[in-house]
Amino acid sequence: MLHAIRVRRQLPLSQRFLPSPATLLGRILMDEQKLRKDIDVVCAIAPFDAELEKWLGTKRVGWLPRTIRANPLDWRPTGQRIGFVGTLNHGPNLEGLVEILEILSKDETPTMQVRIVGSPPSIGQWLESKYPIVTFLGAIDDPALDNEASTWNAFIHPIFCLPRGCSTKLAGAIAWQIPIITTPHGRRGFIWSDGGVLEANDASRFVQLCRRMMDRSSAEAARADVVRIATSSPSIGDVAKLLRELLDI
């Protein structure tokens, strides 16, 4: 909510904050704190969320990492494509996406295509009309998404602020085993023992990594690192052990 309040003047996000943004945010914060009095244990899905739970007064807090269910694609990059999948009216998602599109659109002869999958259509169409490098595909089913993502040089996940939780779509991209570009904030809630994703701390560096992925050998090296993540992420058994420890059973 706080991120939405911050960015809604610059981006086409909902204006519905009644009775007022400050009153609503304060009321929800007070209600959340009161609820914690009757909760014994909270399982968060990222370290930052666990720290916030402690701030709210939760008695016992832990966090459980995401597991990855492999779904490797027949990766065949087509042209110079990068792809984005996400909820477009989520403030942090839209803010980060617009930051990199602003930089990419300033190229004198843009060749990179940004393929966007998500909803609502109103924001996707706004992005497509504002940035000629964008192709908005809307919300598509899983088989169509798999086929589309197999043509991308890289999956992009540009998050430059701390939102809540962790990204379901990043788990999906790791399962696809294609090159991934994200940020330290974007990969919150994930751990692995081998491999890695490409990470940037700001939009300029993020765009540099996007351009690097247009080189097939660089993209293949990035993909190999993601494959190692997919095979070294926690199992359901590992997560169950963490949960037992948290519950002290």
Average pLDDT over residues 126-151: 97
All residues at 6 or more sequence positions from 31 whose CB lies less than 8 Å from its CB, including other chains: none
* Whole-number pLDDT of residue 3: 82
Which pLDDT tens digit goes with each residue over 52-74? 999 999 989 999 999 999 999 99
Per-residue tokens: 213:
């992925």
Give tens-digit pLDDT for 153-209.
Answer: 999 999 999 888 888 899 999 999 999 999 999 999 999 999 999 999 999 999 999
Domain assignment present for residue 35? The answer is yes
Q: pTM to 2 decimals?
A: 0.92
Total number of domains in the chain: 2
CATH of the domain at 91: 3.40.50.2000
Q: Count CB neighbours of 242 within 10 A.
A: 15
* pLDDT of 218 above 90: yes
Q: Is residue 242 part of a domain?
A: no
Confirm whether 240 is domain-assigned: no
Tell me: do 149 and 183 sit in the same domain: yes
Is residue 58 located within the same domain as residue 163? no
In this structure, is residue 246 part of a structural domain? no
Full domain range(s) for residue 41: 2-63
Q: What is the pLDDT of residue 142?
A: 96
Six-digit token string for 104? 């990419």
Q: Are 39 and 162 contained in the same domain?
A: no
Q: What integer pLDDT is reported at residue 15 of this predicted model?
A: 60
**Sheet of 81-87, strand order:** 134-138, 113-119, 81-87, 154-156, 180-182, 198-199
Same domain, 126 and 19: no
Q: Using the predicted structure, report yes or no on whether residue 232 has a pLDDT greater than 90.
A: yes
Residue 76 belongs to some domain of the structure? no
Residue 14 has pLDDT above 90, yes or no: no
Q: Please give the biggest Cα pair distance in the chain.
A: 61
Secondary structure (3-state) at 155: strand
Task: Give the Cα separation of 112 and 87 in Å (integer).
Answer: 22
Residues 40 and 99 in one domain: no
